Structure 1
Amino acid sequence: MTSPNRLLLSAPRRAAQALAAVGAAALLLTGCGSDSDKGKDEAKTEAGGGGTRTIKDATGTAVKVPANPKRIVTLTQEDLDAVLALGLKPVGITNGQGLNKPPAYLEDKVKGINVVGNLLQPVMDKVIAAKPDLILAGDMQDQQVLKQLREITPATLVTMAPTDDWKLSFRGIANAVNSMDKANKVISDYEAKAKKTGEELGDNKGAEVSIVRWNPDGPSWMEKKQFASGVALDMGLKRPKAQDKDGNAHTPALSLEKINEIDGDWLFLSTLTADGEKALKDVQEKPAYKELNAVKKNHAVTVNGSVWSTRGGPLASLAVIDDIAKALKK
């Protein structure tokens, strides 16, 4: 095994294009087996709830996982969000996106849990110390890192593909931990809350919401299938015409001359870095920003980028609903 003391460098946050065709839907294709008979349809079950199940991860790789995993390590906040929403407590987690600590919206739920590295940057000796029987590796694409993780436990899953929305990834993770019924209820409860909250927005029901991440080079609006946008749409809200585009990514940073593309009835702004925060504060003093309709109406709202600008999860989706409701119900 490669030295466990090595601190691994950051892996790319987006998967290779070939992975997109497979997706986390593969996690839902469950087979079961044992070392001696991989073709059996039922998992080998031992006294005390042991045994294994074989599933496919988001790359289509067949992975044998514990029937009821007890020591889960999560390498992204999306994996962490999903596990917590299922009522499970991992033994190791990573810091949030753009953060040197766990995401604030999950802080109360992760007290006492060991941090084993930064997002998709596990410190191997810390992962080993956690003694995992299941590692959820998000959209990890570094094959060297995956090889080392699978030397710690073969039950290491890539849980997200580039085009997966949070519901698909969540169901895949739930399948990996044998909790599909719970996942379906969590999603049903979320959808009911999104619909109900959207109907309670009064004059702002069905409003157009612009969703923007401010980068050091300027603003990028989020496409319709990006996480926070999907939550807004589930609430019955709309996107401005300029942002009514399919996709789950952010646009390239816009110049000040194109800042009108971020306008809408309401403007939700997030950042992920200190440089992004500074760039946003600087532009807020410029006439082009002050002329936006949302700004003139005092409808520009700053939100937490470590929630809004991520791939999302069930708990993050509830936080986005609450943020929108707090602003639009005023």
Structure 2
Amino acid sequence: MSLLPFTAPRQGRLLAGLTLGLSVAALAMAPASAQARSLETAHGEIEIEGQPERVVTLYEGALDAALAAGVTPLAAVATRGGDGVAEYLSDRVPDIAMVGTSREFNLEAIATQDPDLILASPYLSDEQYQLISRLAPTVVPENNGFSPDGWKAQARLYGKALGRTAAVEAALEDVQTRAEALEAELQASDTTASLVRWMPQGPLVMSSELFSTGMLEAVGLNVTDSGLVKDGRPHSDPLSLENLEQVDQDLLFLATLNDEGRQALDTARQSPAFARLDVVERDRVFAVNGQLWTSASGPLAARAVLDDIEAALLPDSE
């Protein structure tokens, strides 16, 4: 399946008639008695009729929220560093269709799904929206920059679009309860922690304003990016091994996205610069899945991150 970037205007001409036809057909098939609901999105107010049955997600957080709400989408995009959905969701949607990546979508593959609702990313461009929204009502959350709690508002919007507001609220409350219980058990407010994604070009310190670092904060840890991440950026520039002491905190969570990253980390672990870190000597370095910790978001991802934190810091609790 070839991925078609949105920068090619010819695609818009080829698909315009098809997509407009699909949109009209989807509206015609909506139950006449369905109660419409209005949603405020990044592209203005849209109305959703009835209970969507053919949902396509173009954002990892949207897939997570849909599944948490009890809806199984027909299609999704591949997670960063992989060719399928993130591993923590793969068992839930073993047969889900892939319609692109987080940056490129195959419009023909999306149209083939005959969607009646598309849940997209807050980073979707205006140009992309103009094309995709011809296929079906497309929900795009407001892009308010990086925030450790922004995923909650996104999940609520997706839940409302799906007609599953109560289910999403219940999932969010469950996450809150679990985080508070872990915080009480850990008693770790004076404990510093950093999250680092190890890439082939070197380690990237992740911002303290992200979803997963927000979960670390939610259990009472003091998360720091050591001042290495510029405002509005998700991570630092790659660090050299000689500068690793800048991430030498009480706890270090190390994420990798794929085999290349894991191989680079394995090589780095053999270096004197890595071995002399105090956090390494104290054996307080924890390997985590980068697809989950540095790419995902949503209620199910939050539960999975909390599971990892508990397994790392309270290994005898089970």
Normalising by structure 2, report the TM-score. Answer: 0.82
Does the aligned pair in 1 maintain the 2:205–2:228 contact within 8 Å? no
CA distance in 2 between partners of 1:9 and 1:60 (Å): 21
* Per-residue deviation, 1:6: 6.9
CA distance in 1 between partners of 2:178 and 2:256 (Å): 26
- Does 1:90 find its partner at 2:73? yes
Q: Secondary structure, in 3 states, of the residue corresponding to 1:268?
A: strand
- Residue segments in structure 2 that go unaligned for 5+ positions in a row: 8-29
What's the counterpart of residue 20 of structure 2? none
- Does 1:216 find its partner at 2:200? yes
Aligned length: 289
CA distance in 2 between partners of 1:10 and 1:263 (Å): 42
- C-alpha distance after superposition, 1:81-101 (max 9, x if no partner): 011011111122222122101
* Per-residue deviation, 1:76: 1.6
CA distance in 1 between partners of 2:204 and 2:2 (Å): 35
Q: Which amino acid in 2 is paired with 1:90?
A: P
What's the counterpart of residue 96 of structure 2? 113
- Does 1:8 find its partner at 2:4? yes
CA distance in 2 between partners of 1:232 and 1:223 (Å): 12
- C-alpha distance after superposition, 1:68-120 (max 9, x if no partner): 22211001211100110111111222221221011110011112322222334
CA distance in 1 between partners of 2:169 and 2:304 (Å): 19
What's the counterpart of residue 270 of structure 1? 255
* Per-residue deviation, 1:299: 1.3
Q: Which amino acid in 2 is paired with 1:105?
A: Y
Change (3 A) 1:243 1:293: farther
RMSD between aligned residues = 2.6
- Does 1:324 find its partner at 2:309? yes
Does the aligned pair in 2 maintain the 1:90–1:113 contact within 8 Å? yes
Q: After TM superposition, which residue ranges in structure 1, 4 or more long, deviate above 4 angstroms?
A: 46-49, 243-248
Moved more, 158-167 or 291-300: 158-167
Does the aligned pair in 2 maintain the 1:52–1:67 contact within 8 Å? yes
Does the aligned pair in 2 maintain the 1:226–1:247 contact within 8 Å? no
Out of 225, 238, 252, the position equivalent to 1:253 is 238
Out of 167, 170, 191, the position equivalent to 1:185 is 170
Does the aligned pair in 1 maintain the 2:141–2:154 contact within 8 Å? yes
CA distance in 1 between partners of 2:165 and 2:278 (Å): 44
Out of 259, 264, 270, the position equivalent to 1:279 is 264
Q: Which amino acid in 2 is paired with 1:177?
A: L
Change (3 A) 1:50 1:197: same
Give runs of aligned pairs for residues 43-122 of structure 1, distance below 5 A. Answer: 50-57=34-41, 59-122=42-105
CA distance in 1 between partners of 2:226 and 2:252 (Å): 13
* Per-residue deviation, 1:206: 5.1
Q: Secondary structure, in 3 states, of the residue corresponding to 1:209?
A: strand
Does the aligned pair in 2 maintain the 1:303–1:323 contact within 8 Å? yes
CA distance in 1 between partners of 2:166 and 2:283 (Å): 43
CA distance in 2 between partners of 1:128 and 1:235 (Å): 42
What's the counterpart of residue 229 of structure 1? 213
Q: Secondary structure, in 3 states, of the residue corresponding to 1:219?
A: strand
- C-alpha distance after superposition, 1:170-202 (max 9, x if no partner): 112122223323222221110110111232237
Does the aligned pair in 2 maintain the 1:265–1:294 contact within 8 Å? yes
Does the aligned pair in 2 maintain the 1:211–1:268 contact within 8 Å? yes
* Per-residue deviation, 1:238: 1.4
Does the aligned pair in 1 maintain the 2:248–2:279 contact within 8 Å? yes
Does the aligned pair in 1 maintain the 2:146–2:234 contact within 8 Å? no
* Per-residue deviation, 1:240: 4.5
Change (3 A) 1:145 1:241: closer
CA distance in 1 between partners of 2:91 and 2:292 (Å): 15
Q: Which amino acid in 2 is paired with 1:158?
A: V
What's the counterpart of residue 140 of structure 2? 158
CA distance in 2 between partners of 1:186 and 1:244 (Å): 34
Identical columns (%): 30
